């Protein structure tokens, strides 16, 4: 997330997401500052990054984040949604299952 911070910038003007993005930006800004300081002082490794994140999380003052409304999403089923879900579910089963599948005998219709 630190390397792709700009991905959040397009949501800063979104009416529902702007407060949440501001909180994410606040946390990422604090992490960036701490990581830059640590890098300048002693360099940083993957373990060092993890230590900085854990340190920031433990010391984070709860009043620095804005209280945001709970996001609610609603699923609206499309007509003939099985055209998406059946191949998708079979793809998951095929890729994640520990069962052997003979790929030469699989046909999707």
pLDDT given for residue 68 in this prediction: 84
Tens digit of pLDDT for each residue in 49-64? 888 889 888 988 878 8
Helix ranges, 1-109 (H) = 6-9, 18-42, 46-59, 82-96
Predicted confidence at residue 108, as pLDDT, reads: 65
What pLDDT was estimated at residue 12? 86
Give yes or no for a contact between 17 and 11, defined as CB atoms under 8 angstroms apart.
yes
Residue-level pLDDT at 75: 83
What's the whole-number average pLDDT of the chain? 85
Instruction: Give residue 109's pLDDT.
Output: 67
Contacts of 4-13 with C-beta under 8 Å, sequence gap 24+, read: none
- pLDDT for the residue 67: 86
Mean pLDDT by 10 residues, the chain (109 residues): 80 86 89 86 84 88 84 84 87 87 79
């Amino acid at each position: 997330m630190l390397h792709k911070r700009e991905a959040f910038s397009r949501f800063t003007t979104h009416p529902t997401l702007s407060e949440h993005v501001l909180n994410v930006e606040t946390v990422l800004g604090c992490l960036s500052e701490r990581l830059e300081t640590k890098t300048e002082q002693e360099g940083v490794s993957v373990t060092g990054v993890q230590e900085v994140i854990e340190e920031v999380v433990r010391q984070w003052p709860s009043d620095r984040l804005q209280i945001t409304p709970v996001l609610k999403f609603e699923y609206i089923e499309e007509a003939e949604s099985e055209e998406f879900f059946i191949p998708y579910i079979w793809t998951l089963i095929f890729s994640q299952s520990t069962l052997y599948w003979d790929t030469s005998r699989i046909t999707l219709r």
